[in-house]
Chain A
Amino acid sequence: MENIKMTARRDFLKASAAVGGGLSLGFYLPGASKVAEAQAATHSPNAWIKIGTDNSVTIMCARSEMGQDVYTSLAMLIAEELEVDVNKVKVEFAPPAEAYINALLGGQITGGSTSVRDAWEKLRKAGASARMMLVGAAAAQWNVDAAQCKAVGGAVSGPGGKRATYGQLAEAASKMEVPKDVPLKPNAEWKQVGNVKQKRLDTPMKVNATATFGIDVRVPDMLYAAVAMPPMIGGKVASFDDERAKNMPGVKAVVQYSRGVAVVADSYWQAKKAKDLLEITWDEGPNANNDMRKVWGGLRDAAAQPGAVFREAGDADGALGSVAKLYEATYELPFLSHSPMEPMNTVAHVRADGATIITPTQFQQLVPFVVAGATGLKPEQINVITTFLGGGFGRRVEVDYTMDAAEISKAVGAPVKMVWSREDDMTHDSYRPGGIYKVKMGVDAAGKLVAYRYHGTSPSISSRLFPSIVKDGIDPFAVEAIDNFPYAVPNHKLTYQMFDAGITPGYWRGVSHNQNCYVVEGFIDEVAHALGKDPIQFRIDNLEYSEEKHKWSGLSAGQAVGGRMKRVLEDVKAKSGWGAKLPDGKGRGVAVMEGYNTVMAAVVDVTISKNYDVTVDKVTYSVDAGPLIHPDQAAAQIESSTIFGQSAALFGEITVKNGGVEQMNFDQYRVVRMNEAPKSIAIHWIPAAKDQPPGGLGEPATAVVTAAIGNAIFSASGIRVRRLPFSPENIKAFADPRHTMKPTNL
């Protein structure tokens, strides 16, 4: 994909008649690629709203539902302005089409905590525009002024007791001109948006287990594929012996495809058992000897390079040479796996004249292109159906597994469901990149912050996936939560150095906010303590209020938000019990961040045992995310990202040996379980300011909680742990007094 754009594009409306009669309303973007336009025509109706002559209302969900509630919250935006009860609409997942492109990302992608931000005006306008056309149709029918008519509950009423349902008006409405000016309801008139009692529309089907995930899809005459992929990253099949495998019961075929060897059978278990009998010789590829000594050695060498400057003011290097006190620290972060509960899978049916791909994906728009490449078909011949996703967390932005399934289906000439084992999934992930982060702070004799230096070194995800957005050595998805460094330091220089560690880097929930928030908020905490200041007050006293625009972090607020940060810090201080004396072994840490135009502060309470085991007891948030569409699920996203972040903070680490990932399953890649989850996650919302747009909520807490846990560990133990995860081994290592940060007095 070369067309990722970080700037919103202007959408415009276009109405078209829906198949089967009725009103269909879609957004079309100018300058669409020819292929995408052709797809839109193929996969009609291309629309947000379908109103049947039977009064049924269908709302298209153009984002993938992976737990984050787009299925309900996006429908609520449309229903509010359409004047229908969201609990009575049907929701359908949209096919890939230009109309459904996420303007914040430039593709039909679910990610970057952008779904609600992108939909906020667009979907309410879609609802309002359709309502205006329905009202207009009624007014024309009754020969009255539209102002005399009113839409309520899926019907239009007019003077003299006249009434017509949306179903009765749908056909006439579809012939109305699309209104140019679409005013939206003032917030005070919302009946559905912001409803604290609204339930998720997908809960009943997820409780009674009728929700269809990719792995649940069954099509007629479907075969099952289990795969053998190279254990080393970048390896290939050299040769294989399938004599034993192909004679196993139920086996229909053994096929080599680009990435590995697939056994296709009547059932998954038969395919899996036969797959285990394959004897494969691998061409080990360029990373054959890669291991963690090489990875960290390479990162350390790269960190000695100057890197590319992405933000600078004054003369940081000069000032750091003459400050009263100089503080320095180096932080190290590991690689991480996504490991969603549903392993990668796809049902593919490749025929001579086209293909159907049914898949749990976060990037359905890309699927036709890669499947076309893999099969020789044209993108417009490929029909993509998105299922529910059993977790995504960024893994399913990648479409590698759809291509694999298509190749296998083509080879056997039948519909195939390819299912990865957990081991396949964990060892063929794209990984949250590890990295080394060196920071320095210079303080003058009066204790004022004078100079700051940040130098981050890590693999670049976008260089692999979206190279066109990488410019001047900067990957925008490596400098989140640091491009918008929130503290006022007159001299600062922030640099980034890419390094390819031979471990495929991928977008992972929160992306680089995770690394940078831990580094920024860990280090400011260190400096606060070193200067004998209260960590919350020290942050407040040093916030940046400048309105200068940030250049790189495109999904952020775009400028310093000191006022919002001060507010959440003061709020969390008041609500977390901050300042109270804690018993031995307990500690309380704070962190604050702006990401995705959401500002949040967290205070974490931890207990640390004599053996350095950390328990996260309680997390208190103050969150300024603007208006909440579905408040209960906004809270659920913070609960979710808290525990996702906690898993990584306490346990997460992927390592390689002989070029391949060592961790195979959840016994080796530990994640938080019920007994380890915080007993309390308290979320306090800052009321939205007038006209404040919503911020993203799917990710930021993942980053903030990690930094706050680290600061709480310091509060509990006096140990500053500068390497993740906060495992007993790492904490013990940093308990050594040589890690205590002492300033260089210049």
Chain B
Amino acid sequence: MAISFNLNGKQAMADVAPDTPLLWVLRDTLGMTGTKFGCGKALCGACTVHLNGQAVRSCQTPIGSVAGQKVTTIEGLAANHPVKKAWIALDVPQCGYCQPGQMMQASALLANNKSPSDADIDAWMSGNICRCGTYPRIRAAIKAAAKA
């Protein structure tokens, strides 16, 4: 039976097994490949999306649990969102693969904390791995976005 949910402000339908992770519904069923697969175990944060405004790991979110709810992915984060603008202004990405997850995690932080400290950033962002080591720039970009 098809499961429907709100994806980036529009109705989305997926006729898949309810235990299918949201990650693979986004990527394979709906063709939205901005959300990345990194570890499949909620260890790296590459697949982070917003579920009803909260940052969640889509690799551990069964599509059945998403029915009727509101999902926002990197494609749905506004182009003029302060996080996206700060990421561009500071040239944060290197390989760029983890960055959609980093930006979704960071935007959820700023939605609740307008002026995060270094300790806040450490606590909130430490679930998102970047093997290119862009952490110093991510930290600076979060602070820049907070001021925007």
If the complex has contacts A209-B75, A268-B28, A269-B28, are A389 and B129 also in contact, measured as CB distance less than 8 A? no
Q: Are B137 and A66 in touch, CB under 8 angstroms? A: no
Chain A contact-residue range equals 35 or more
- Chain A 401-446 interface residues, beta-carbon cutoff 8 Å to B: 419, 421-423
Inter-chain CA distance A416–B126, complex, in Å, is 35
Provide the B70-89 mask, 1 if CB < 8 A to any CB of A, else 0. Answer: 00001100010000100110
Inter-chain CA distance A680–B98, complex, in Å, is 22
Q: Are B136 and A390 in touch, CB under 8 angstroms? A: no
In the complex, A199 has a CB within 8 A of chain B = yes
Which residues of A have CB within 8 Å of B75? 208-209
- Chain A 197-238 interface residues, beta-carbon cutoff 8 Å to B: 199-200, 202-204, 206-213, 215-216, 218, 224
Q: Are A639 and B137 in touch, CB under 8 angstroms? A: yes
Which residues of B have CB within 8 Å of A207? 84, 87-88, 92-93, 99, 103
Which residues of B have CB within 8 Å of A268? 24, 27-28
Which residues of B have CB within 8 Å of A270? 17
Which residues of B have CB within 8 Å of A674? 121-122, 125-126, 128, 135, 138-139
User: Which of B24, B39, B94 is A665 in contact with, Cβ under 8 Å?
Assistant: B39
Which residues of B have CB within 8 Å of A218? 31, 33
Q: Are A642 and B39 in touch, CB under 8 angstroms? A: no
Provide the B93-124 mask, 1 if CB < 8 A to any CB of A, else 0. Answer: 11111111001000000000000001001110
Chain A residue with Cβ nearest B97: A390
In the complex, B37 has a CB within 8 A of chain A = yes
Q: How far is the CB of A743 from chain B (nearest CB, A)?
A: 39
Inter-chain CA distance A432–B95, complex, in Å, is 21
In the complex, B131 has a CB within 8 A of chain A = yes
Q: Are B129 and A67 in touch, CB under 8 angstroms? A: no
Q: Are A341 and B28 in touch, CB under 8 angstroms? A: no
- Count of A-B contacts judged by CB separation below 8 Å: 175
Q: Are B40 and A422 in touch, CB under 8 angstroms? A: yes
Inter-chain CA distance A643–B139, complex, in Å, is 14
Which residues of A have CB within 8 Å of B44? 341, 422, 666
In the complex, B2 has a CB within 8 A of chain A = no
In the complex, A476 has a CB within 8 A of chain B = no
Chain B contact-residue range equals 35 or more
Which residues of B have CB within 8 Å of A393? 131
Inter-chain CA distance A421–B29, complex, in Å, is 19
Chain A residue with Cβ nearest B24: A269
In the complex, B16 has a CB within 8 A of chain A = yes
In the complex, B46 has a CB within 8 A of chain A = yes
The A contact surface, by secondary structure, is: loop
Inter-chain CA distance A657–B128, complex, in Å, is 29
- Chain A 633-655 interface residues, beta-carbon cutoff 8 Å to B: 633, 636, 639-644, 646-647
Chain A residue with Cβ nearest B122: A675
Chain B residue with Cβ nearest A210: B34
In the complex, B43 has a CB within 8 A of chain A = yes
User: Which of B43, B91, B97, B138 is A667 in contact with, Cβ under 8 Å?
Assistant: B43
User: Which of B40, B96, B122, B137 is A636 in contact with, Cβ under 8 Å?
Assistant: B137
Which residues of A have CB within 8 Å of B129? 341, 666, 671, 673
Interface centre among B46, B87, B135 (most CB of A within 10 A): B135
User: Which of A199, A341, A636 is B131 in contact with, Cβ under 8 Å?
Assistant: A341
In the complex, A267 has a CB within 8 A of chain B = yes
If the complex has contacts A393-B131, A644-B133, A678-B136, are A341 and B38 also in contact, measured as CB distance less than 8 A? yes
In the complex, A632 has a CB within 8 A of chain B = yes
Inter-chain CA distance A209–B43, complex, in Å, is 21
Provide the A264-301 mask, 1 if CB < 8 A to any CB of B, else 0. Answer: 00011110000000000000000000000000000000
Q: Are B103 and A341 in touch, CB under 8 angstroms? A: no
In the complex, B148 has a CB within 8 A of chain A = no
Which residues of A have CB within 8 Å of B16? 267, 269
Inter-chain CA distance A269–B121, complex, in Å, is 33
Q: List, sorted by A's number, 15 A–B pairs whose CB atoms are closer than 8 Å.
A: A67-B93, A199-B91, A203-B88, A207-B87, A207-B103, A209-B34, A267-B16, A268-B24, A341-B46, A391-B97, A393-B131, A422-B39, A644-B131, A674-B125, A681-B136
Binding site for B on A (CB under 8 A): 65-69, 199-200, 202-204, 206-213, 215-216, 218, 224, 249, 267-270, 339-343, 388-393, 419, 421-423, 632-633, 636, 639-644, 646-647, 665-667, 671-679, 681
Q: Which 4 A-B pairs have the closest CB atoms?
A: A643-B133, A209-B34, A390-B97, A67-B94
